[in-house]
Structure 1
Amino acid sequence: MSDRWQRLLGEVWRFFAVAQLATWVSFVIFNVLAHGWLVGTTVMGDQPIVAYVLANCVGMVISYHGARGWVFPHRPPRQADGGWTAYVVINLLAMVLPVGCLFLTRHVLHLDSMLADNLSANGVGLVLAFGARFYLFKRFVFRRPLEAPTSAVSAPS
């Protein structure tokens, strides 16, 4: 396997590991807020979409620091804010996918259960969002550093 493919697979694996940590944190926060899981009483039982967005904002912060420090440390930021603004915009755009799945489950299919919420938002929606975020982060936030141009004319000897 070429170095390029090994590097790409390493980035995908590390991105997946960071995403898993952020997802589990978001999963627990969402289920505590929306379903009272682990604490027995719901805080936002009638607002699962807002609970999902809040939980995933916490996950977004974890994901950014993991991606910046471990997944793409060799890709220095090109923006003054370290890519944070582009990262947030991409995450918010990608969050439309699981929120859309949750909306569909709750308001179109009228399924109101912890299992349905988690399968739609934290299952189907997150798989779709994972692929979109990986591509968009590599393309717009954690871009490869510019290579030094190679000179077509060699220096005189």
Structure 2
Amino acid sequence: MRRLIAQLARFGVVGAVGFVVDFSIFNLLRATVLSPDEVHSGPFWAKVVSTAVAIVVNWIGNRYWTFRHQRRSVVAREGFEFLVVSLGGMVISLGCLGISHYLLGFTSAFADNVSGNVIGLALGTLFRFWLYKVWVYHPDRVERETTDERDEVPATTV
């Protein structure tokens, strides 16, 4: 239980850094080149870009800190699975933003931030932590990969 609490705390710190990156880039883009006054779908695209950058920041933090004892030897596979889960979280956040901004008509910067960066982020975070824990960084998968690598016999030359 203690290890889980520590892991949740590290996940929270990494997530907080990712949030600052996401929030900052989203608001910068929304206020400038992707302003809804200039680009109708600007807030949506600002959220896509800001989340994509935050995904990279979060992967590095989670791989090398939060789940460092459970990271996998096949970096490309782990990165792909992390990306899939993170994109699922992004869809949740974009869904909240889309419903609020385009369906309900709450188009202020404040409303976009509440829907995309508070509600969407909270729901997406729960989704991501659960799938990171049970799929991407699951201890049995890490152990199985390590065992499989040890069981491989290198080819010898005669």
Provide the TM-score with structure 2 as the length reference.
Answer: 0.83
What are the equivalent positions in structure 2 for 1:49-128 lying under 5 Å apart? 49-81=44-76, 83-128=78-123
What are the equivalent positions in structure 2 for 1:24-39 lying under 5 Å apart? 24-34=20-30, 36=31
Counterparts of 1:129 and 1:80, CA distance in 2:
23
Counterparts of 1:23 and 1:85, CA distance in 2:
21
Q: 1:79 offset after TM fit, Å?
A: 3.4
Counterparts of 1:82 and 1:97, CA distance in 2:
23
Matched with 2:34 is: 44
Counterparts of 1:93 and 1:43, CA distance in 2:
26
- The answer for unaligned runs of 5 or more in structure 2 is 147-158
Residue from 4, 11, 22 that aligns with 1:8: 4
> Which one has the bigger helix percentage?
2
Matched, 1:17 2:7: no
Q: 1:10 offset after TM fit, Å?
A: 0.6
Q: 1:81 offset after TM fit, Å?
A: 1.2
Counterparts of 1:137 and 1:70, CA distance in 2:
13
Matched positions, count: 139
Matched with 2:154 is: none
Q: Per-residue displacement from partner, 1:7-26 (whole Å, max 9, x unpaired)?
A: 00111110011001011111
Matched, 1:142 2:137: yes
Q: 1:76 offset after TM fit, Å?
A: 3.0
Q: 1:80 offset after TM fit, Å?
A: 4.7
Counterparts of 1:143 and 1:97, CA distance in 2:
23
Counterparts of 1:44 and 1:127, CA distance in 2:
24
Deviating 4+ runs (over 2 angstroms): 145-148
Q: 1:141 offset after TM fit, Å?
A: 1.2
Provide the TM-score with structure 1 as the length reference.
Answer: 0.83
